Amino acid sequence: MRGLPPGVKVTPMLSQYLEWKEKYPHCILFFRMGDFYEMFFDDARKASEILDITLTARDPDKSIPMAGVPWHSMQPYLARLVRAGCSVAICDQITEPDGRTLVERKVVRIVTPGTYVPEEAGTGGHLAALIPSGEFYALALLSVETGRLEAGLFPPSEALSILGSFAPGELLVPSGFSLPKDFPLAGEFFLLPRPKEFFSPLSGTRLLKQTWKVASLGTFGVRDDSPEAGCAAAALRYLSETQFGAVDHVRRVHPLLSREHLLLDGATAEHLELVDEEGPSLFSCLNRCRNAMGKRMLREWILRPLLHADPLKIRHDSVEFLLAEGDRRRSLRNLLGECRDIQRATSRLSLGTGTPRDMGALRDTLRLLPSLLPLCEGALSPWIKDLPDFSPLGDLLNEALEEDLPRNPASGGIIRRGFDPELDEWRAVETGATDWLEAYLERVRAETGISRLKAGFNKIYGYYLEVSRGALSSVPGDFQRKQTLVNAERFVTPEMKTFEEKMNRAGEEISRREGELYDRLRQEAAFFLEGLQALGESLASLDVLASLAEVARERGYVRPELDDSGDFFVTGGRHPVVEQILTDSPFVPNSYSLEGDGKRIVLLTGPNMAGKSTYLRTAALLILLAQMGSFIPAESARMGLFDRIFTRIGARDDLARGSSTFMVEMVETASILSNLTDRSLVILDEVGRGTSTYDGMSIAWAVLEHLAEGCGCLPKVLFATHFHELTCLEERFPSIVNLSMAVKEEGGEIFFLHQVVRGSADRSYGIEVARLAGLPRPVLKRAFDLLKRFEKEERTGSMARKKRPADEGRQMKLFDSARQGILEELAETDPDGLTPFRALELLYSLREKSREVLRNENIPSS
């Protein structure tokens, strides 16, 4: 036995103890002996100290220190050990003692600071996992007590603040990782380093998908193969390691939401074309930024809109102020245009990869402050309030640095003449030497009569004199030949050698001294590091605000009124991007009226190309603009603050990942339905388009019903569909209102007015749209005849069922007998009680049944 004190007699019981202890060396082993959990050796010493219990001995020789706690009241002891950062392995008796043979024992559980859940009230069991990913941190939080697992990706500062308020007992991190020193910590917790593979996004995603039997974590709103999925799996894996088995009470992963930002679900930024690099996007439409910092910040503001009223008020006040004061805005923007990217310059300098030009960028920007800062009065003052006085650094850089600076610190020419006497002295030596060389050349030319004598320098021979071939006969004897060229020869002289030594010396001293001075400047800049970072943020924010004010002026945006009503009222709302690219015709403004707890669901019908999708996206963009601090393209607006925007738009194939359109659609829809809140905006555009008509309609129908009453909260919903049958739901649910796109028919032609009106669309105008698109005449004619027949049959069908209740009448015709069965099956399902996997199974079975029905149907012939 390793490490045993001398003289210890190893009894069978002790050997059993040691065997288990060896398996859990990092834990305190609670060894069950009758009514006590006993601890031995170092464990006993440590525990007696932490728990303040007596340290005794097992044997008469006192070579085996021992301490114990009664098994029936072990909880408070466990709690104290865990709070002190210890992990405890609980080793229980698993056979009944018979007085003769040794009782069998086994470790059944490990209690660690992050997984311990106190039996009494109180919090505990908070486990977290964190890995850096590019510029972000992926973070997973697991509350062992409730089984809630959340994961997300955040900028480091935000990840750390979320972590701080979650206050985990343990934090899993990749080996070698350490937290920033200034980490704002609520309680104490313990780092658990694990190898990188423990957090692998790929195998983590696989594990989670298997555990919960889902095709994609997208079902829960978490990206497959993402670092946050890797973190979530790591936390779960660690928990199951300590619990010795499956962790059944963790049933899914939730997207971890920012406490500060509006959540845009995975596909939303893409669907809404927020920051597309190519082509028109919200970014390109708002970007009047004058410097690189502002452009970066604008992107960030677009992708991370705010959740709280106070910081938004500061942004809106600033835009209003800049909009009202045109002169101030113009002067400010001119100065901002001259600002260099000091954020990058500062980080390069502090990383040690900075160049003299980065230093120059600081100087050039600091020079602007005396004229720039006084412009930031009134509503703009919050943006500059915590900045230090930069004049010591600014003055120093102004005095020290040359106007034009080299990229390479070693190439010289950094420090200005007159700044440092020592440097100037060596430079004078160099200049003096150069003057000497001129004079020397003159002298030798005169002495030798070689009028075209030249001086030069190369790396191998240093300084030399060059004589052309024709003049070689006049070369004096003390010239030492060094190199022969085609037309000339090169020589050195003793005077040249002396000169060279002097030059070398001066050169060395100059670069030494310049290097010293440059280092001193770098230190001085490093001293201002935090201030410079804050200044970078301020200049970036001011640039964005001025840009937003500029756009508001150009395009007539107004300030949205924000409150906590949960309403969304807009008159004359316009799509910010579409209105900029429409050239032929003006954009038709539309209004929105969604009430927090009244009519909060819009069911929008209308023909293709009538403007449904645009109407939906406009709502999302108006909210996003308002919550990033911008004014919005509308006549007026009053709205509550939203916390999530979900979008499910069109039939979008995720070919790269090999999922079918329909699968993608269902995964996105499932994710939306499982993450709703009262303050969510849900945009569902043509849900169910990716599958057969009846499947599609059934799903759309069920989803709409769920949103209207089954989802347990009151999200605002904009639902566009080409299934006119759904419009009957308005009568059944007070929260639903039917709207449609106005169409004008004139002389057999149709015109889209892009105007949203009350009521449902009466027809789909599909064939008219087909004509607009240039489908061949015979095809159009045949389609038209078929339509007439279908409509006729539909009418006779509905006549036969005239007695049905009004809210079902028009729709039920679609569902005679066999169809009725499908409908009933659907009606009986309880979506809340289904796992996403079961839901999908049900969908497939419904689809099979529907196809059967369709197969039995006669297609009319002419």
Binding site for ligand ADP (CB under 6 A): 578, 582, 587-588, 590, 606, 608-614, 754
Q: What are phi and psi of 764, to 5 degrees?
A: -95, -15
Per rule CB under 5 A, is residue 740 in the interface with Mg ion?
no
Edge-to-edge strand order for the sheet containing 148-154?
190-194, 170-174, 126-133, 136-143, 148-154, 253-255
Of 219 and 613, nearer to Mg ion (C-beta) is: 613
Q: Tell the smallest beta-carbon distance from residue 587 to ligand ADP (Å).
A: 4
**From CA 144, how far away is CA 126, in angstroms rounded?**
6
Q: Tell the smallest beta-carbon distance from residue 604 to ligand ADP (Å).
A: 9
- Integer CA distances (angstroms), 268 to 274, 298, 738, in order: 9, 18, 25
**From CA 4, how far away is CA 793, in angstroms rounded?**
93
Q: Tell the smallest beta-carbon distance from residue 649 to Mg ion (Å).
A: 8
**From CA 55, how far away is CA 40, in angstroms rounded?**
9
Of 483 and 591, nearer to ligand ADP (C-beta) is: 591
Binding piece for Mg ion, criterion CB under 5 A, among 175-183, 401-409, 466-474, 604-612: 604-612
Q: Tell the smallest beta-carbon distance from residue 804 to ligand ADP (Å).
A: 31
For the segment 439-468, give every residue that binds Mg ion (CB under 5 A): none
The option from Mg ion, ligand ADP, none interacting with 437 (CB < 5 to 8 A, set by class) reads: none
The option from ligand ADP, Mg ion, none interacting with 318 (CB < 5 to 8 A, set by class) reads: none
**From CA 759, how far away is CA 607, in angstroms rounded?**
14
The option from Mg ion, ligand ADP, none interacting with 268 (CB < 5 to 8 A, set by class) reads: none
Q: Tell the smallest beta-carbon distance from residue 755 to ligand ADP (Å).
A: 8
The option from Mg ion, ligand ADP, none interacting with 610 (CB < 5 to 8 A, set by class) reads: ligand ADP
Edge-to-edge strand order for the sheet containing 488-492?
454-458, 462-468, 488-492, 480-484
Q: In 3-state terms, what secondary structure has residue 174?
A: strand
Of 243 and 571, nearer to ligand ADP (C-beta) is: 571
The option from Mg ion, ligand ADP, none interacting with 754 (CB < 5 to 8 A, set by class) reads: ligand ADP
Of 415 and 588, nearer to ligand ADP (C-beta) is: 588
Q: Tell the smallest beta-carbon distance from residue 616 to ligand ADP (Å).
A: 8
CA-closest candidate to residue 180, choices 161, 198, 193: 161
Tokens of 638: 């009053």
By Cβ distance, which residue is nearest to Mg ion?
613
Q: Which residues contact 683 (CB under 8 A, 6 or more apart)?
A: 616, 617, 619, 620, 645, 646, 647, 648, 649, 717, 718
The option from Mg ion, ligand ADP, none interacting with 446 (CB < 5 to 8 A, set by class) reads: none
Of 348 and 652, nearer to ligand ADP (C-beta) is: 652
Of 588 and 843, nearer to ligand ADP (C-beta) is: 588
Q: Tell the smallest beta-carbon distance from residue 760 to ligand ADP (Å).
A: 14
Strands 716-720 and 263-264: unpaired
Per rule CB under 5 A, is residue 281 in the interface with Mg ion?
no
The option from Mg ion, ligand ADP, none interacting with 609 (CB < 5 to 8 A, set by class) reads: ligand ADP
The secondary structure of 40-60, three-state, reads EHHHHHHHHHHHCCCCEECCC
Tokens of 251: 């049933």
Report the sign of the C-alpha dihedral through residues 590, 594, 595, 601, in that order.
positive
Q: Tell the smallest beta-carbon distance from residue 659 to Mg ion (Å).
A: 21
With residue 133 as reference, give the H or E element that holds it: strand 126-133
Strands 105-111 and 87-93: antiparallel
Per rule CB under 5 A, is residue 614 in the interface with Mg ion?
no
By Cβ distance, which residue is nearest to ligand ADP?
611
Q: b vs e for 734-768, b when ≥16 Cβ sit within 10 Å of the residue's Cβ?
A: ebbbbbbbbbeeeeeebebebbbeeebbebbbebb
Of 648 and 847, nearer to ligand ADP (C-beta) is: 648
Q: Tell the smallest beta-carbon distance from residue 770 to Mg ion (Å).
A: 16
Of 22 and 745, nearer to ligand ADP (C-beta) is: 745
Report the sign of the C-alpha dihedral through residues 64, 69, 74, 77, in that order.
negative
- The string of DSSP codes covering 720-741 is E-S-GGGGGHHHH-TTEEEEEE
Of 304 and 754, nearer to ligand ADP (C-beta) is: 754
With residue 494 as reference, give the H or E element that holds it: helix 494-527
Tokens of 152: 């997300």
The option from ligand ADP, Mg ion, none interacting with 689 (CB < 5 to 8 A, set by class) reads: none
The option from Mg ion, ligand ADP, none interacting with 611 (CB < 5 to 8 A, set by class) reads: ligand ADP
Q: Tell the smallest beta-carbon distance from residue 743 to ligand ADP (Å).
A: 11
The option from Mg ion, ligand ADP, none interacting with 756 (CB < 5 to 8 A, set by class) reads: none
- Integer CA distances (angstroms), 853 to 692, 694, 828, 849, in order: 12, 10, 20, 6
**From CA 772, how far away is CA 283, in angstroms rounded?**
33
Q: Tell the smallest beta-carbon distance from residue 237 to ligand ADP (Å).
A: 45
Question: CA end-to-end span of the chain, whole Å?
Answer: 94
Per rule CB under 5 A, is residue 613 in the interface with Mg ion?
yes
The option from ligand ADP, Mg ion, none interacting with 588 (CB < 5 to 8 A, set by class) reads: ligand ADP
Of 490 and 612, nearer to Mg ion (C-beta) is: 612
C-beta separation of 463 from 498 below 8 A: no
Phi-psi sector, 52: left (phi>0), alpha (psi -120 to 50), beta: left
Q: Tell the smallest beta-carbon distance from residue 585 to Mg ion (Å).
A: 18
Of 490 and 754, nearer to ligand ADP (C-beta) is: 754
Q: Tell the smallest beta-carbon distance from residue 590 to ligand ADP (Å).
A: 6
Of 674 and 693, nearer to ligand ADP (C-beta) is: 693
Binding site for Mg ion (CB under 5 A): 612-613
